[in-house]
């Protein structure tokens, strides 16, 4: 009987230790407004992204890639960034990266867009763990419908980082731009799915 | 007898010598143009790059010397400076229509050679990159020839690495010779005042194609029999303090678009003058009102611009540069983006067997990436034109 309990205890310890070694991949949250017909959105403005990283240009870099790749999808027309900047000036938006619902409606009228996209870059750069190093991007994006200023879609994505293989065999991961385009592609997949 | 033999051999030798001289003279006449055929050039001294200590005068002298050796009539530098001084022109990175006319009227040149120092570093590993363009000295300043020569001390190692270890001035001489040869090869066309026949180039490698591409076939495809698309390339934006990086990428777009038959690309000096006249300040990208202003001043069909997000000439390893940029073209009439692209690559991406195909120079890498974008646009344009006879949509339609 004692041996039986010992075996069970060892097995339980093994299960717990294996579970502890595995990485827990956090679920990224995606929100789609169930009452929204996304096929009506044909023209959008991508506003400057909030940059929470130490890299001062991360927000603009990610926004630039996002704008091009969104347009490359072929279903949505994206206003040029210079035109968006002009619209923000005309609308007098206090915080261009975080417009209020009223500002979003006003901006939509000025730019004649169906929706406004805002974003936050949470992480952009190199991460290190022991001798391994890799690039990582973490960002979230939301779409506000310009008739009402309501958020109709929101998603986030994290790409890059150090994998178990990187730790074991070394390697510097993918270039920053590749990681960024992977994260943007992931977000666009979530938008169009 | 001995005398007579010697005399006859002497006459024979003289005849052979005379024949050789005549032969060489005829070859020399064929190689060097007669004075009437001379293409006379004003070589503008390049604008010194803010980030480097490039020997501007030496580059201008080397180019002048190499062109003179190939039969071009090169205007002395003092005369070039005198024309510039008379018109109070300091900028030599481009030429406006009025300045081109002034050169033609006051010095009688047929064209102006404008040089951009895209890369210069004497430190280890040395590297040099020059882009030259030949602009006709007429009011509309067409670009008749443009090319880039990029050299890196670590490329072309040759057998047993004998090709390594060149210093920057040796690389400079090689680059100058390459550019002078390229210009001389088009001498006939330049004399006639046209851009000459386009040489068929190898297709750009897959690794240099754009990673993402948006293309509006309804607007980007010109109508059948339409004239060339008149394009203005604006300087690209850069995230860092090195503003000249944006100009390097823009100049590569000028070069690659000029090499396509479908486009009539405006001389960057003319575009710069128009932006100054219209007081267009580009701080956050091109707005549609700026596009309207450029169209009103230059009567362009499209405006190309973009942003350089990464430009590392050295990269992580020595000689593995990294370049990333987005580019877009806005149709000046419909005021809509007709194509947009995102490109990035490292010099050591997708190497071939034994590490061949390693691109060491950031300028060469940029050139390949830009060529990838322009070729892709051409490919999509041809495909769309052959598939469906597109009707241009009404203005304002999404």
Residue A125 lies in a domain: yes
Q: Domains of chain B, with CATH numbers?
A: 35-192 (3.40.50.10610), 206-387 (3.40.50.10610)
Look at B212 and A60 and tell me if their CB atoms are within 8 Å.
Answer: no
| B288 vs A74, A83, A175: nearest CB | A83
Q: Which of A99, A105, A67 is nearest to A83 (CA)?
A: A67
Look at B322 and A69 and tell me if their CB atoms are within 8 Å.
Answer: no
Is the pLDDT at B127 greater than 70? The verdict is yes
CA-based nearest distance A177→chain B, Å: 7
Is the pLDDT at B360 greater than 90? The verdict is no
Query: What pLDDT score was predicted for residue B91?
Result: 87
Residue A60 lies in a domain: yes
Residues 6 or more apart whose Cβ sits within 8 Å of residue A149: A100, A101, A102, A103, A104, A105
d(CA B377, CA B257): 10
Is the pLDDT at B135 greater than 70? The verdict is yes
Is the pLDDT at B122 greater than 60? The verdict is yes
CA-based nearest distance B90→chain A, Å: 30
Give burial (CB, 10 Å; 0-12/13-18/19+) of B337: buried
pLDDT digits (tens, 9 = 90+) for A33-87: 988 888 889 999 999 999 999 998 899 999 999 999 999 988 899 999 999 999 9
Is the pLDDT at B20 greater than 60? The verdict is no
CATH number at residue A86: 3.40.50.10610
Contact residues, chain A, for B376 at CB < 8 Å: none
Query: What pLDDT score was predicted for residue B61?
Result: 92
Look at B337 and A175 and tell me if their CB atoms are within 8 Å.
Answer: no
Split into its structural domains, chain A has a count of 1
For B:69-128, CB contacts with A below 8 A are none
Query: What pLDDT score was predicted for residue B386?
Result: 79
- The answer to whether the CB of A61 falls within 8 A of the CB of A51 is no
Strand pairing report for B111-121 and B73-74? unpaired
Q: Which of A166, A165, A163, A158 is nearest to A136 (CA)?
A: A158
Is the pLDDT at B356 greater than 80? The verdict is no
Is the pLDDT at B5 greater than 60? The verdict is no
Q: Which of A8-22, B97-111, B314-328 has the lowest mean pLDDT?
A: A8-22
What secondary structure letter does DSSP report for A160? E
User: A140: pLDDT confidence band, cut at 50, 70 and 90?
Assistant: very high
Is the pLDDT at B2 greater than 50? The verdict is no
pLDDT digits (tens, 9 = 90+) for B205-246: 888 999 999 998 887 777 777 778 999 999 898 877 777 889
Domain that holds residue A46: 29-192
Residue A38 lies in a domain: yes
Q: Is the dihedral of CA A57, A61, A66, A67 positive or negative?
A: positive
Q: Which of A99-103, B200-204, B351-355 shows the highest mean pLDDT?
A: A99-103
| B214 vs A72, A175, A177: nearest CB | A72
Q: Which of A113-122, B77-86, B181-190 has the lowest mean pLDDT?
A: B181-190
Helix, strand, coil share of chain A (percent; to 5)? 45, 25, 30
Is the pLDDT at A158 greater than 90? The verdict is yes
d(CA B351, CA B359): 9
Contact residues, chain B, for A91 at CB < 8 Å: none
Contacts within 8 Å (CB) and 24+ apart, B151-154: B151/B127, B151/B175, B151/B361, B152/B125, B152/B126, B152/B127, B152/B319, B152/B360, B152/B361, B152/B364, B153/B124, B153/B125, B153/B126, B153/B127, B154/B125, B154/B318, B154/B319, B154/B360
- The answer to whether the CB of A104 falls within 8 A of the CB of A144 is yes
Q: How far is CA B212 from CA A41, B29, B100, in A?
A: 21, 53, 39
CA-based nearest distance B259→chain A, Å: 25
Residue A130 lies in a domain: yes
Q: Which of A150-164, B154-168, B309-323, B339-353 has the lowest mean pLDDT?
A: B154-168
Residue B231 has, within 13 A of its CA and on its CB side, a CA count of: 28
Strand pairing report for A43-46 and A115-129? parallel
- The answer to whether the CB of A177 falls within 8 A of the CB of B344 is yes
pLDDT averaged over every residue in chain B: 81
For A:164-183, CB contacts with B below 8 A are 172, 175-178, 181
Residue A16 lies in a domain: no
Question: Percentage of chain B surpassing pLDDT 90?
Answer: 41
Residue A9 lies in a domain: no
Mean pLDDT, rounded, for A129-143: 88
Q: What's the whole-model pTM score?
A: 0.81
């Amino acid at each position: 009987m004692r041996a039986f309990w010992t075996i069970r205890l060892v097995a339980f310890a093994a299960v717990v230790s294996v579970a502890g070694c595995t990485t827990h991949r956090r679920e990224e949250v995606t929100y789609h407004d169930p009452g929204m017909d996304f096929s009506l959105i044909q023209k959008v403005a991508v506003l400057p992204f909030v940059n929470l990283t130490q890299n001062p240009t991360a927000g603009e870099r990610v926004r630039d890639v996002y704008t091009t790749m969104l347009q490359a999808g072929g279903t949505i027309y994206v206003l040029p960034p210079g035109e968006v900047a002009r619209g923000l000036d005309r609308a007098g938006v206090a915080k261009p990266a975080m417009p209020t619902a009223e500002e979003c409606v006003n901006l939509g009228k000025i730019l004649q867009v169906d929706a406004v996209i805002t974003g936050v870059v949470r992480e952009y750069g190199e991460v290190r763990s022991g001798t391994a190093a890799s690039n990582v991007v973490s960002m979230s994006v939301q779409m506000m419908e310009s008739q009402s200023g309501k958020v109709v879609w929101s998603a986030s994505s994290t790409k890059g980082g150090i994998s178990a293989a990187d730790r074991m065999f070394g390697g510097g991961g993918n270039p920053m731009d590749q990681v960024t385009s992977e994260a943007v592609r992931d977000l666009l997949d979530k938008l169009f799915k | 007898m001995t005398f007579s033999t010697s005399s006859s051999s002497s006459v024979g030798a003289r005849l052979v010598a005379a024949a050789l001289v005549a032969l060489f003279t005829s070859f020399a006449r064929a190689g060097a143009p007669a004075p009437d055929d001379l293409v006379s050039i004003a070589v503008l001294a390049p604008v010194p790059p803010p980030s480097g200590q490039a020997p501007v005068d030496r580059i201008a002298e080397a180019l002048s010397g190499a062109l003179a050796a190939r039969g071009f009539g090169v205007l002395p530098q003092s005369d070039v400076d005198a024309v510039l001084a008379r018109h109070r022109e300091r900028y030599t990175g481009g030429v406006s229509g009025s300045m081109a006319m002034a050169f033609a009227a006051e010095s009688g040149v047929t064209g102006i050679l404008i040089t951009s120092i895209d890369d210069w570093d004497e430190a280890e590993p040395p590297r040099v990159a020059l882009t030259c363009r030949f602009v006709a000295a007429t009011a509309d300043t067409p670009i008749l020839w443009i090319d880039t020569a990029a050299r890196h001390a670590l490329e072309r190692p040759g057998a047993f690495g004998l090709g390594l270890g060149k210093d920057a001035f040796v690389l400079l001489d090689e680059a100058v010779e390459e550019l002078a040869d390229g210009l001389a090869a088009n001498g006939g066309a330049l004399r006639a005042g046209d851009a000459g026949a386009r040489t068929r180039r190898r297709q750009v490698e897959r690794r240099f194609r754009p990673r993402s591409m948006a293309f509006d076939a309804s607007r980007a495809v010109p109508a059948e029999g339409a004239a060339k698309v008149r394009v203005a390339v604006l300087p690209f934006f850069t995230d860092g303090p090195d503003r000249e990086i944006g100009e390097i990428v823009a100049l590569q777009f000028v070069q690659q678009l000029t090499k396509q038959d479908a486009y009539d690309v405006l001389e960057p000096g003319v575009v710069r003058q128009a932006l100054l006249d219209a007081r267009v300040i580009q701080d956050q990208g091109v707005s549609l009102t700026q596009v309207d202003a450029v169209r009103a001043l230059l009567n362009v069909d499209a405006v190309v611009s973009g942003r350089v997000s990464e430009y590392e000439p050295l990269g992580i390893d020595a000689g593995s540069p990294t370049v990333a940029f987005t580019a877009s073209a806005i149709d000046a009439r419909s005021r809509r983006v007709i194509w947009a692209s995102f490109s990035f690559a490292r010099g050591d991406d997708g190497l071939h067997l034994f590490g061949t195909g390693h691109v060491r120079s950031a300028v060469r890498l940029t050139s390949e990436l830009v060529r990838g974008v322009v070729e892709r646009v051409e490919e999509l344009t041809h495909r769309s034109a052959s598939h469906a006879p597109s009707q241009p949509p009404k203005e304002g339609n999404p």
